Structure 1
Amino acid sequence: MPLHLPLPVTAEDFLAENHLCSLTTLRPDGTPHVAPVRFTWDGEAGLARVMTTVTRQKARNVLAADGDRVAVCQSVGFRWITLEGSATVSTDPPRLVEGARRYTKRYWSAPPQLPGLAVIEIAVDRVMGMY
């Protein structure tokens, strides 16, 4: 179930900043895979989105266990926030367009247009941090 409570303004502001983050998924053998990513936060939908390609390890991990939990973390100095939830991978054109639109707004440039473009959508149901 996605998080539907509004986050504090300080958390929303921090999530709007342009920073590199990390995404933790689980490999099929259960070991963690941590990758540097850029992500966007959609507070209204309770979704974090990561643009990637279907061939990347992070996407393959999510596809192997569709709906499993993942975590995306942003940290800068002593401020940090972790968003956790169940993840899915989509190549649906409207979802790709929305993911790319939000990515471009946050990071001031469009995501790379690579073959096999996909979006990992995380239905966030847990937030932790000091922001």
Structure 2
Amino acid sequence: MLTNKGADFEGFWAERHLCTLTTVRADGTPHVVPVGVTVDVEAGVARVITSGTSHKVRHVLAGGEDGVPAAVCQVDGRRWSTLEGRAVVRREPEVVADAERRYAARYRTPRVNPQRVVIEIKVARALGTV
């Protein structure tokens, strides 16, 4: 799904930009927070590393095994991209380690956090101007 978006799309999601993650609270209102996002174009997956105790993780966990609808977005001037899909929380050590490596490649080495988990979004729709 993302492999047909082209080099500009891939390059944009590899550049260092602050992003936002939008999840939905139990009352139906959006919860938008700044995050770092990595995108695996081949797998069609966006990943956010975070503490397992965060509100965003609680919102995703509330959806059960099927996860919840979520979106990540980044903007740079006129260029922007939003990736939408279903988010789940992954805790497996190898998944967390892989996400940390990807984060380090795009941003910087993350601080040590023994409670770290990964919010993984299987991308169903990509919008934007890149």
Q: Report the TM-score, using the length of structure 2 for normalisation.
A: 0.94
Amino acid at match of 1:101: R
8 Å CA contact 1:6, 1:43 repeated in 2: no
SS state at 2:46 partner: strand
* Structure-2 separation of matches of 1:116 and 1:92: 12
Question: What does residue 128 of structure 2 align with?
Answer: 129
**1:82, CA displacement in angstroms?**
0.1
Runs of 4+ aligned structure 1 residues displaced above 6 Å come to none
Residues 59-102 of structure 1, C-alpha deviation per residue, up to 9 Å, x if partnerless?
11001114211000000111100000000011100100110010
Instruction: Please state if 1:64 is matched with 2:27.
Output: no
**1:111, CA displacement in angstroms?**
1.7
Overall identity of the aligned pairs, in %: 49
* Structure-2 separation of matches of 1:4 and 1:104: 22
RMSD: 1.1
**1:112, CA displacement in angstroms?**
2.3
Q: Report the TM-score, using the length of structure 1 for normalisation.
A: 0.93
SS state at 2:53 partner: coil
* Structure-2 separation of matches of 1:118 and 1:75: 25
SS state at 2:109 partner: coil
How do residues 14-93 of structure 1 correspond to structure 2 at under 5 angstroms?
A: 14-66=12-64, 67-93=67-93
* Structure-2 separation of matches of 1:26 and 1:94: 28
**1:5, CA displacement in angstroms?**
4.3
Instruction: Please state if 1:113 is matched with 2:112.
Output: yes
Unaligned runs of 5+ in 1: none
Report the number of matched residues.
128
SS state at 1:18 partner: coil
* Structure-1 separation of matches of 2:4 and 2:82: 15
